[in-house]
Amino acid sequence: MKPQRPLKMRSQRGFTLVELIMVIVLLGVVGGMVSVFMKGPIDAYLDSGRRAALTDVADTTVRRMARDVRSALPNSIRTSGTNCLEFIPTKTGGRYRVQDLVAGDGHSLDFSINDTSFNMLGSNNALPASQRIAINDLIVVYNLGIIGADAYDVTNANGGKDWTTVSALPTEPGTYVPVETEISISGFRFPLASDNYRFHVVSSTEKMVSYVCSGTNLLRASSNTLTATASCPTSTSGTASVSIIASNVNCTSPSTSFIYSGSDLQRNALVTMVLGIQDSSLTESISVHHEVHVDNSP
């Protein structure tokens, strides 16, 4: 037998501790260099995301306000300083009959007496449920917002109250072609007739709406009563219903302001809304400017 050769020991390879430390140091240097270049774009992305979120909140808020303002009774918008916007919202409107169907039948709206009923041209039942005329709703005719024709003249102290309440559920006799609706009202003599034979209807459950910027919140206050105060409130204390529309609002002017420019000879008006909102950490803030055209034709 041949003698067996001794097995050769396989050589072992690896990293030394020094080499590992050098690699770690180099990776740290490279990572630091990369982070310097990446920090700017990442911060910009996060900042733009925060601004986009704030802009979306502010834009949604002013558009909701604009939708409310467009339903305002003509010449009912008023402001107090720059932090309050108030108006009388309407639910619907229509045209009243100017002449009786048969002389003396009382179906027209008579401005010479305390009238108790009149006919609306069209069907009340055909309106959406939220817009149908109901008992205790207010019927307003030709509101000019001045002495002698002012919806805020609730006590009729100046003889200019231009609204009365619906006293019974409107009916549709079915004898009119086209359809007309008979509306019973609390006996009242309206001070002025409308040039276009129009009337507006204010809901009995929401007769006034105020947007008030207070503290760091934008509030929407709704009231089921009309008040004769000269201007809208600076707070919402005692109001029937208050909801927070937006938080973290900078209520200091000019960051947030509501400006109403009265109607001109064409009965047009403009509501300018500026809303400033900050994020919860107060590191980002944006300001949104929005204008709403208001038709003040009564």
Q: In one letter, which amino acid is 273?
A: M
Q: How far apart are CA 101 and CA 87, in angstroms?
A: 36
Instruction: Tell me the residue type at 181.
Output: T
pTM above 0.85, yes or no: no
Question: Is the pLDDT score of 120 beyond 70?
Answer: yes
Q: What's the pLDDT at 203? A: 96
Q: Read off the tokens for 165.
A: 């309440």
Strand runs (DSSP E) across 3-114, as ranges?
Answer: 78-79, 84-87, 92-95
Once rounded to an integer, what is the mean pLDDT over residues 99-110?
A: 91
| CA nearest neighbour of 273 among 77, 51, 50 | 77
Q: Please state the domain extents for the chain.
A: 58-86+211-295, 90-205
Which CA distances in Å does 136 have to 18, 88, 163, 207, 250? 91, 15, 11, 11, 39
User: What span, in angstroms and rounded, lies between the C-alpha atoms of 201 and 166?
Assistant: 10
SS (H, E, C) 28-44: HHHHHHHHHHHHHHHHH
Report which DSSP code applies to 233.
Answer: -
Average pLDDT over residues 248-263: 87
Q: Which two tokens stand for residue 86?
A: 């108030």
What is the pLDDT averaged over residues 134-138? 97
pLDDT exceeds 90 at position 133: yes
Alpha-carbon gap, residue 87 to 226, rounded angstroms: 10
- Model pLDDT, residue 3: 59
Answer for the pair 268, 294: CB distance below 8 angstroms, yes or no: yes
Q: How far is CA 164 from CA 28, 76, 167, 252, 295, in A?
A: 80, 16, 9, 39, 23
pLDDT score recorded for residue 92: 96
Contact yes or no for 90/298 (Cβ under 8 A): no
pLDDT winner (highest mean) among 44-53, 236-245, 246-255, 263-272: 246-255
Q: What are the pLDDT digits (tens) for 138-186?
A: 999 999 988 889 999 888 876 789 999 999 999 998 888 899 999 999 9
The CA–CA distances, whole Å, from 235 to 85, 211, 230 equal 11, 10, 15
Q: Are strands 198-202 and 138-140 parallel, antiparallel or unpaired?
A: antiparallel
Nearest to 216 by CA among 271, 276, 257, 273: 276
pLDDT at residue 54, rounded to an integer: 86
Report which secondary-structure segment, H or E, holds 66: helix 17-69
Residues listed for the chain: 298
- Can you tell me the mean pLDDT for 20-31? 82
Sign (positive/negative) of CA torsion 49, 54, 59, 64?
Answer: positive
Instruction: Provide the β-strand partners of residue 91.
Output: none
